[in-house]
Amino acid sequence: GNSVTQMEGPVTLSEEAFLTINCTYTATGYPSLFWYVQYPGEGLQLLLKATKADDKGSNKGFEATYRKETTSFHLEKGSVQVSDSAVYFCALAGSSYKLIFGSGTRLLVRP
Amino acid sequence: GAVVSQHPSRVICKSGTSVKIECRSLDFQATTMFWYRQFPKKSLMLMATSNEGSKATYEQGVEKDKFLINHASLTLSTLTVTSAHPEDSSFYICSARDLGTYSYNEQFFGPGTRLTVL
């Protein structure tokens, strides 16, 4: 079945550091891929998405490229801010429209 | 953008009582809504898929009689936790699919409801 694997957290960085959160997936067909962010005490917000191979999703300085050859969708940001501290979830959606989530990666950015 | 609300945001109840959680799509129509459960510091677990005007489809291991789902209109789905027990305490999150973004499999999430059963 479909699945998503994320790197274990927490990830602790200093402000302005480079961020990478790894995400790989297993799926049949051609799923859509998503990154969601959850701030403390809140629900999930869509951060970015990609619907086909080689697509690059981007938003708020975050980027992720849909790599079919490596079945990956790694999240990157060149310079993190304290306000980026949150939990990040990688997810995929196949033909059934159900979202399959990774386990989440907590990011803590220190001033 | 597409906005989904949930009510209440927090609820505390006694063991054995029932609790209803509402999920509304505020500015779009949602033929399909999803209910998730999130345990502390864990990922989201899909509980059921709710389709307007028909019975919900539950994931394996989720008790239908305990978690009653009703999707009476294109903008409202409700989750009722019946005879709640402390182990039902969790963060419940709903999401909705926007008819307009059908092809992208995109879901919009509510802010969640924190249920505490004493």
pLDDT tens by residue, B84-109: 999 999 999 999 987 665 545 678 89
Question: Is the Cβ of A40 closer than 8 Å to some Cβ of chain B?
Answer: no
SS3 content of chain A, % helix, strand, coil (to 5): 5, 55, 45
pLDDT at res. B99:
65
Which residues from chain B sit within 8 angstroms of residue A97, using beta carbons? 32, 97, 105, 107
Closest chain B CA to residue A92: B105
Which residues from chain A sit within 8 angstroms of residue B112, using beta carbons? 42-43
pLDDT at res. A71:
96
Q: Is the pLDDT of residue B1 over 80?
A: no
Strands B10-13 and B113-117: parallel
B13-25, pLDDT tens digit by residue? Answer: 999 999 999 999 9
B34-70, pLDDT tens digit by residue? Answer: 999 988 777 888 999 998 888 899 999 999 999 999 9
Question: Is the Cβ of A7 closer than 8 Å to some Cβ of chain B?
Answer: no
Closest chain A CA to residue B44: A101
pLDDT at res. B54:
83
Q: Which helix (H) or strand (E) holds B43?
A: none
Quote the CA–CA distance of A52 and A57 in Å, as a whole number.
10
Quote the CA–CA distance of B103 and A96 in Å, as a whole number.
12
Q: Name the average pLDDT for chain B.
A: 89
**A106, β-bridge pairs:** A87
Quote the CA–CA distance of A74 and A67 in Å, as a whole number.
9
CA-CA-CA-CA torsion for B19, B15, B62, A100, nearest 10 degrees? 70
A35-85, pLDDT tens digit by residue? Answer: 999 998 777 889 999 999 999 999 999 999 999 999 999 999 999 999 999
**Cα angle B46, A48, A106; round to 5:** 65
pLDDT at res. B16:
96
